[in-house]
Amino acid sequence: MTDNNLAIAPVLELRNVFKSFGALKATDDVSLTLLPGEIHALIGPNGAGKSTLIRQISGEYSPDHGSIHFLEKDLKGSGVAARAQMGLGRTFQVSSLALEFSALRNVMLAVQATEGTSFRFFKPVMKDQDLIDAAMVFLQEVDMQSRANIPAAELSHGERRKLEMAIALALKPKAFLLDEPMAGMGPEGSKALTVFLDKLRHQAPILLVEHDMDAVFALADRISVLVYGRIVATGTVDEIRTNPAVREAYLGEEV
């Protein structure tokens, strides 16, 4: 078992990461790995430091101590854009879109980013059929093709979440970093997204921050529980369900 684990190199690895804001230890000695093909869920009560941790991985914050390796490269010094280029596909907790652009143009932006063609000055994008077709494929994957020409500002909350997902797909990432993708989706939307993410793990592993416990227990290969910036437990769904420390600190009466 141990030998087996060593043989698989983690896609993403955090080693002893610390981050403080003044006296508040937002991230306190966090180590975790994301292995190929897995969904690793990160759960914890509000204020546990999940978002802070995600921001250190995405490059918005830099850790005070410790290292973050992605595809065996140290991410220290790489900015948000550089990390995205390397293959970290992140979605935001609160949808973050170019609101004046149509859904299609939002995805087209991601496609041109992966192609590295943002310094093309002359050809009009809306006459660039290859670019449009490429983007359309990702909109279809999230069942948004009929809303392609609607400005992001006019999309519903659920549609914006789907659009975020389409953009993340268009980046063809080597790891997904999904920050509460189910938030505000409603039971129907959550179910559909659960089915979708279940298939997505074969494309690239997913680090999933999520409050929806049904989704987490249905999807996760492994779960890490974050409380006050510390990981109090990491394990399979069953191990986490039965872990007394977790029940006390987080799950409480729910389980």
Instruction: Note the residues at the interface with other proteins (CB under 8 A).
Output: 58, 79-82, 84-85, 90, 92, 96-102, 105-106, 108-110, 112-114, 117-126, 128, 131, 149, 151, 167, 170-171
Token pair, residue 6, equals 């060593």
Contact criterion met (CB below 8 Å) for 218 and 194: yes
Nearer CB in complex with other proteins: 125/233: 125
Contact criterion met (CB below 8 Å) for 59 and 79: yes
Cα(41)–Cα(141) distance, integer angstroms: 23
Nearer CB in complex with other proteins: 2/121: 121
Nearer CB in complex with other proteins: 112/224: 112
Residue with tokens 């050809």: 123
CB of 229 to other proteins, least distance (A): 24
CB of 59 to other proteins, least distance (A): 8
CB of 45 to other proteins, least distance (A): 26
Nearer CB in complex with other proteins: 174/241: 174
Q: What are phi and psi of 27, to 5 degrees?
A: -130, 120
Contact criterion met (CB below 8 Å) for 83 and 175: no
Token pair, residue 242, equals 């039965």
CB of 99 to other proteins, least distance (A): 6
CB of 104 to other proteins, least distance (A): 9
* Residue 75, helix vs strand vs coil: coil
Nearer CB in complex with other proteins: 161/222: 161
- 12's torsion region: left (phi>0), alpha (psi -120 to 50) or beta? beta
CB of 95 to other proteins, least distance (A): 9
Sorted by sequence, the CB contacts under 8 Å of residue 100 that are 6+ apart come out as 151, 152, 153
Nearer CB in complex with other proteins: 86/233: 86
